Amino acid sequence: MNIIRIIVTTLLAISLTACAGIRPQPPEVQLSGLEISDVSLSHANFLATLKLFNPNSFGLDIEGLKFTLFLNDVRVAKGQTAKVFAIPAEDSREVAVRLSSSFLDLFQLTRSLQNQQEVNFRIAGEIRIDSAGMLGRSIPIEREGTLPLSGSLNQLKPDSQLLQPMDSPEKQILRQ
């Protein structure tokens, strides 16, 4: 019985060591698009498109992705994915993430965009990967780059009407 116990224990130890050695490389993350989806008096919502590349020779099941978006070093928004998705081996997948931002953060950002045609971005967060039915593991992500101020992002420029106080009919009457 002792020999069987030793053999089983040894085999179990070898299998656990082998599984621990199969650690997936984290996906490469790229911010491929950013649009303002809607604006209210208290906040703005963005739609960020992330491109994730899986460098591994096997597919990855992504349980979640959450990150913070910085534009010109101003923390602008936070967001996370709402559902599980897979990235095939040595392939990429685009994921849309809804982000929410406070009006105050947007106001700080617009002051930094005077006379600029592009904006520096940084995303920082984590990806949660399912590890073959075992406990998932979180991998930190960070990416920097620049985006052109075009499309709906033009609304972030200081001379746009997005953050300007709107004239009420009462103010127009008082001016006359």
Reduced to 3 states (helix: H, G, I; strand: E, B; else coil), residue 103 is helix
Where do the structural domains in the chain lie, given as residue ranges?
A: 26-148
Fill in the amino acid letter for 25.
Q
What is the pLDDT at residue 130? 81
Q: What pLDDT digit, counting tens, does each position of 9-32 carry?
A: 776 666 655 554 467 788 999 998
For domain 26-148, give the CATH number.
2.60.40.10
CA quadruple 49, 54, 59, 60: dihedral positive or negative? negative
Determine the average pLDDT of the residues in 94-117: 86
DSSP state of 107: H
The secondary element (H helix, E strand) that includes residue 86 is strand 85-87
